[in-house]
Structure 1
Amino acid sequence: MEKLSIVVPCYNEEATIPIFYRTVEKIRNQINAEVEYCFIDDGSKDKTLSILRDLNKKSDAVHYISFSRNFGKEAALYAGLKMAKGDYVVTMDVDLQDPPALLPKMWNILHESDYDCVATRRITRRGDPPIRSFCARLFYKIINRLSDTEIVDGARDYRMMTRQMVNAVIQDGEYNRFSKGIFSWVGFHTKWLAYENVERSAGETKWSFWKLFKYSIEGILAYTTVPLYLSSVMGILMCGVSFIALVFIVIRALLYGDPAAGWPSLVCIITLLGGLILLALGIMGLYIAKIYLETKKRQIFIVREER
């Protein structure tokens, strides 16, 4: 019988893990496969690890990895994919915002068609703050304009993949990971399933607005160098503007003399140029920082306990 591995990152999810496990178990018999659970405890500070230990003792299908500290969801996803032994692997959140009821449908699509992956996307953001929904839509528009790697609007990490695709993702061992981009970059035939937003079953989200903003910057830097080109273009444009202004000043001085007035506009121009220079340096600095982290070749995660 084929095996399906369910990869589930967890960070301070003591309230949601039992609910998630019971929910998936109810629909487990609808999937004609041996199912294994691969929970990743991302350095939780609550009773997440204790609950995973209990589930592991009760069921041979439950396995887990516990990190030495919090390494982030991207590291947890990577660890889960490396841990999974199934012929098919599905990644999903433990808070039930990724509906387990879609699992049988995803399984059937992969077996009845030529797709390598079945991915999900939210078509509504009901329950999210308006500002967060607006910024999320703006992020997808920006990254798809700047990058050759398409990121589908509303795409979730909830997807079921063949072993071939999983192996391709694992081989991409970069330190600065952006899974949505990696899943798209490796290619393969993907079927998209749309669903309406589902709120958490319990607990609180770990994604603040600032964390989401930083994550969006990571995605843009990981899959496009257009910001570097834009900084160069801004530099060229400002050189052109400066040259035109210089010609204007020389002609004005020849025709009307050289009055001392005009220092406020001069201060504004200097401030503008200084801001553009700092912006360009900041963009280059972000890319250099990514290069620095990659060259250090640090471990993406460190395992403290594994069962």
Structure 2
Amino acid sequence: MKLSVVIPSYNEAESISETIKGIDDAFSSLPIDLEIFVVDDNSKDNTVEVLTELQKKYTSLKFETNKGPNGFGYAITYGLERYSGDCVAVMMADLSDSPQDLIRFYNTMVEGNYDCVFGSRFIKGGKLIDYPWLKKIVNRIANMIIRFVMQIEYNDTTNAFKLYKRETIDGIKPFLSPHFNLTIELPLKAIIRGYSYTVVPNSWTNRKFGESKLKMREMGSRYFFILMYCFIEKYFSRGDFKKKW
């Protein structure tokens, strides 16, 4: 089963080399067909130049520039329309996600034949390194609200780092979120449409370079919109969008 990794990247020239190297090193000795698909979201720094040089070294690396519209959700959507694998993970360009966790996600999907594998940083075995305290408080409140509204047990919906089979991605289209709210749209749609999933622990490490692109003050209403959309679909769509078994 070929694995694709979609990585949205905006002004990540300082981080992207280590991210690509880390993924390639982790998979180099494994019999897994890997595609690393970086979507440059019209960066204003020299990210494209860095990626061009990296492509000469790493045969698994592919990149394209999303000319627009731009935004975190648009960049991921661009990649999810163009990846070549049988399954696809969304990872960040800032070194926050662990390649070793990705291997665990992949092996779990293959062994259990799950449609999705979700990580949680907040279950036994999960790990946070240098997580900003205010961001953590907001994160836990947001996930508590999501769990209550959607009546689910999963406690880390907001993290983008997840693995989906191609059939799952196709089954939860079209995507509505142009920004970071896509992180909750993908798993919530997969859950309410009946795709199988399991949850495994994963780690998160704060970025070494640059600054976070997530602006919490700008995202509240956008997260709320997607949450309400998924709530309405779950309780009022009469199963019209359910997975066809």
Q: Structures share a fold, TM > 0.5?
A: yes
CA distance in 1, matches of 2:203, 2:2: 29
CA distance in 2, matches of 1:132, 1:33: 35
- Is 1:184 aligned to residue 172 of structure 2? no
- Is 1:43 aligned to residue 42 of structure 2? yes
- Indicate how the Cα distance of structure 1 residues 153 and 89 shifts in structure 2: closer, same or farther if over 3 A, else same: closer
CA distance in 1, matches of 2:207, 2:178: 28
The one-letter code sitting in structure 2 at the alignment partner of 1:206 is K
Q: 2:161 is paired with a residue of what secondary structure? A: strand
The one-letter code sitting in structure 2 at the alignment partner of 1:100 is P
Comparing 142-151 with 43-52, which one deviates more in the overlay?
Answer: 142-151
- Is 1:206 aligned to residue 227 of structure 2? no
Q: Does the 8 A contact of 1:122 with 1:155 survive in 2?
A: no
What is the root-mean-square deviation in Å for CA atoms of aligned residues? 2.5
- Is 1:221 aligned to residue 244 of structure 2? no
Deviation at 1:82, TM superposition (A): 0.9
Equivalence for 2:97 = 98
Equivalence for 1:140 = 143
Deviation at 1:29, TM superposition (A): 3.0
Deviation at 1:135, TM superposition (A): 2.0
TM-score by length of 2: 0.79
Runs of 5+ in structure 2 lacking a partner? Answer: 230-245
Q: How many residues align?
A: 221
Runs of 5+ in structure 1 lacking a partner? Answer: 226-307
CA distance in 2, matches of 1:205, 1:56: 25
Q: Does the 8 A contact of 1:139 with 1:216 survive in 2?
A: no
Equivalence for 1:172 = 174
Deviation at 1:55, TM superposition (A): 2.3
Q: Does the 8 A contact of 2:119 with 2:156 survive in 1?
A: no
Q: 1:83 is paired with a residue of what secondary structure? A: coil
Identity %: 24
Equivalence for 1:53 = 52
| Structure having the larger proportion of residues in helix | 1
Structure 1, residues 47-74: CA drift from partner, whole Å, max 9, x if none? 1011112223444422112122571111
Q: 2:101 is paired with a residue of what secondary structure? A: helix
Q: Does the 8 A contact of 1:143 with 1:151 survive in 2?
A: no
Comparing 212-221 with 5-14, which one deviates more in the overlay?
Answer: 212-221
Deviation at 1:143, TM superposition (A): 3.3
Bigger Rg, structure 1 or 2? 1
TM-score by length of 1: 0.65
Q: 1:157 is paired with a residue of what secondary structure? A: coil
CA distance in 1, matches of 2:129, 2:59: 37
Q: 1:186 is paired with a residue of what secondary structure? A: helix
Q: 2:134 is paired with a residue of what secondary structure? A: helix
1:13-24 aligned within 5 A: 13-24=12-23
Structure 1 residue aligned with 2:163, among 144, 160, 175? Answer: 160
Deviation at 1:174, TM superposition (A): 2.8
